[in-house]
Amino acid sequence: MTAHADPSAAIVVIGDEVLSGRVNDINSLFLCRRLHDLGVAVRRVVVVPDEVALIARDVADCAAGYTHVITSGGVGPTHDDVTMQGVAAAFAMGMRRHPVAERAIRDFYGSDMAEAALRMADVPDGAELILSPEMRFPVVRVRNVWVFPGSPHLLRKKFDMVAGRFASTPYRTATLALNTGEPEIAPFLGDVQRRFPDVAIGSYPQEPGATVRLVITLKGKDPERVAACHRELAAGLGRWLAPEGTGGAA
Amino acid sequence: MTAHADPSAAIVVIGDEVLSGRVNDINSLFLCRRLHDLGVAVRRVVVVPDEVALIARDVADCAAGYTHVITSGGVGPTHDDVTMQGVAAAFAMGMRRHPVAERAIRDFYGSDMAEAALRMADVPDGAELILSPEMRFPVVRVRNVWVFPGSPHLLRKKFDMVAGRFASTPYRTATLALNTGEPEIAPFLGDVQRRFPDVAIGSYPQEPGATVRLVITLKGKDPERVAACHRELAAGLGRWLAPEGTGGAA
């Protein structure tokens, strides 16, 4: 509901196995949390099938609309791994076998390497490869698009390798735990939100059985403003404040 | 990688709390699984912020491209609940206070209802309300878009209420558990995939520590074709077959 300070990010998850519900995508949750902690606003997550044209469409759309794009999945050597082709198509690039990636793959597999392994060295011809001593394979970046593997443990390692490049002014957050329903406080909340357009106020009813009925969240980049907004909410909502009370900027 | 039989579906998750990683979206996983079990191909999941224009853009895009669209979240009475306005904007509809929804809300809250609760009775003017004796509030449908709440237990209840309307020819699936890396079998897999364009073959390396190295999945609507494809894969990959062996169509 509020203006977001730059930088922004979009996540493109590639995988039929996510869309069929066979695999629970834990990568986008990890990336949303880590990017939030780095002060980056994730504004879009999209899950698409293993199809070049569909990947290309969303990667192009996201690359034009957000500061950073991170893709997850579709980077192996089999027929259903088409993310590199999708990213190349998004930027109307060709593909090339990258000598640095080829060497890393040959070193890893050794003399009994199956030739198809080298398919993983084929990248968009505008790709930059980022090497690190801790990782066998380089991180692949094409303009503002970072191509990460679908394997959660590899994705985390690779993200940590380059996370410093995303760091921005951190968010200041705060919460209020309330024992009320939403309708009773909706007009007041809306009024405070209008006066604090630079602080995002969220209202989240808790599932039955939770210790409080409603959690109000605040998030912004200016600590003074978040604290001022939090004080105003706490004053106006005091009669419903749960014993858990307030957290964060109070 | 393969042609998909109709019907298709897209899921639009609305929520800043998902994009910031504060809340783990379990609704899209539930919907992907249930729709797959009903024979519906989920072809797209997208998570968007609590902003009318962004919701409208994705809802319009998905409504035009897929048989069914399901939205999750953003349907409460507070300022950050703007899904109904987003869906209305997607179809260039206005909003109306629906008398059936209003009555359900008044009955639920009784005499001490806060006026803001009635905001939940405001729906796009082309909305159809579907009532059921088990549910307090109706399910809201606008053309091919089903508007579900973000609360996981309510979403599940409401989905179950209308699930029969989505049912199609079920998928036949099968798996092979292998002890090999992908490069060794990639050319063979690609060859079989070309000869079975109506069976989606997936190849999924397992995380370190799993009992097998690689799982091959098959999925299609024609049981004979899935079984034939499975036989061919099992014959060609026999030397790598794990003790867990084959599942499904064998």
pLDDT tens digits along B102-130: 999 999 999 989 999 999 999 999 999 99
pLDDT band at A3 (very low <50, low <70, confident <90, very high): very low
pLDDT at residue A175, as a whole number:
96
Cβ–Cβ gap A79/B189 under 8 Å: yes
- All residues of chain A having their beta carbon less than 8 Å from the beta carbon of residue B116 are 182-184, 186-187
Q: How far is A131 from chain B (nearest CA, A)?
A: 23
pLDDT of A249 strictly over 90: no
Residue B180, SS3 per DSSP: coil
Q: How far is B133 from chain A (nearest CA, A)?
A: 21
pLDDT at residue B12, as a whole number:
98
Q: Which long-range contacts (CB under 8 A, 24 or more apart) does B104-111 make?
A: B104/B136, B104/B137, B104/B138, B105/B137, B108/B136, B108/B137, B109/A183
Cβ–Cβ gap B17/A202 under 8 Å: yes
Q: Which amino acid belongs to residue A11?
A: I
A122 in contact with chain B, both atoms CB, cutoff 8 A: no
pLDDT digits (tens, 9 = 90+) for A54-70: 999 999 999 999 999 99
Angle at A111 between CA A105 and CA A114, to 5 degrees: 60
Tally of CB atoms within 10 A around B77: 26
Nearest chain B residue to A194 by CA distance is B79
Q: Which amino acid belongs to residue A36?
A: H
Could you identify the residue written with the tokens 């953003």?
B74
Here the ipTM equals 0.94
- b/e per residue A17-31 (b: at least 16 CB within 10 A): bbbbbbbebebbbbb
Mutate to test the interface with A, among B46, B50, B79, B81 (most CBs of A within 10 A): B79
- All residues of chain A having their beta carbon less than 8 Å from the beta carbon of residue B76 are 182, 203, 205
pLDDT digits (tens, 9 = 90+) for B182-216: 999 999 999 999 999 999 999 999 988 888 999 99
Q: How far apart are CA A205 and CA A187, in angstroms?
A: 16
**Which of A79, A114, A183 has the CB atom closest to B183's CB atom?**
A114
B103 in contact with chain A, both atoms CB, cutoff 8 A: no
pLDDT at residue B249, as a whole number:
54
Mutate to test the interface with B, among A12, A46, A78 (most CBs of B within 10 A): A78
**Can you state the percent helix, strand and coil of chain A, rounding each to 5?**
40, 25, 35
Q: How far apart are CA B150 and CA B158, in angstroms?
A: 11
Tally of CB atoms within 10 A around B60: 18
Nearest chain B residue to A190 by CA distance is B79
pLDDT at residue B245, as a whole number:
65
Mean pLDDT score of chain A, rounded to an integer?
Answer: 94
pLDDT band at A171 (very low <50, low <70, confident <90, very high): very high
pLDDT at residue B248, as a whole number:
61
pLDDT at residue A137, as a whole number:
87
Angle at B159 between CA A211 and CA B175, to 5 degrees: 105
Residues 21-80 of A with CB under 8 A from B: 21-25, 28-36, 41-51, 76-80
Q: How many interface pairs between A and B have CB atoms less than 8 angstroms apart?
A: 185
Cβ–Cβ gap A116/B207 under 8 Å: no
pLDDT at residue A248, as a whole number:
61
Mean pLDDT (whole number) for B58-70: 98
Radius of gyration of chain A (CA): 22
pLDDT at residue B78, as a whole number:
96
Cβ–Cβ gap B80/A203 under 8 Å: yes
pLDDT band at B247 (very low <50, low <70, confident <90, very high): low
- All residues of chain B having their beta carbon less than 8 Å from the beta carbon of residue A119 are 183, 186
pLDDT band at A132 (very low <50, low <70, confident <90, very high): confident
Q: Which residue has the higher pLDDT, B87 or A249?
A: B87
Q: How far is A28 from chain B (nearest CA, A)?
A: 8
Residues 209-238 of A with CB under 8 A from B: 217, 219
pLDDT at residue A250, as a whole number:
41
Cβ–Cβ gap B21/A1 under 8 Å: no
- All residues of chain A having their beta carbon less than 8 Å from the beta carbon of residue B44 are 19, 46-48
A247 in contact with chain B, both atoms CB, cutoff 8 A: no
A119 in contact with chain B, both atoms CB, cutoff 8 A: yes
pLDDT at residue A2, as a whole number:
43
Mean pLDDT (whole number) for A186-191: 97
- All residues of chain B having their beta carbon less than 8 Å from the beta carbon of residue A190 are 78-79
Cβ–Cβ gap B193/A19 under 8 Å: no
pLDDT digits (tens, 9 = 90+) for A76-129: 999 999 999 999 999 999 999 999 999 999 999 999 899 999 999 999 999 999
Cβ–Cβ gap B184/A44 under 8 Å: no
Q: How far is A37 from chain B (nearest CA, A)?
A: 9
Mean pLDDT (whole number) for A220-241: 97
Task: Spell out the domains of chain A, with CATH numbers in brackets.
Answer: 8-166 (3.40.980.10), 172-247 (3.30.70.2860)
pLDDT at residue B4, as a whole number:
47
Angle at A145 between CA A139 and CA A147, to 5 degrees: 40
CB A9 within 8 A of CB A70: yes
pLDDT of B250 strictly over 70: no
pLDDT at residue A4, as a whole number:
47
**Which of B43, B77, B184 has the CB atom closest to A182's CB atom?**
B77
Cβ–Cβ gap A43/B49 under 8 Å: yes
pLDDT digits (tens, 9 = 90+) for B4-33: 457 999 999 999 999 999 999 999 999 999
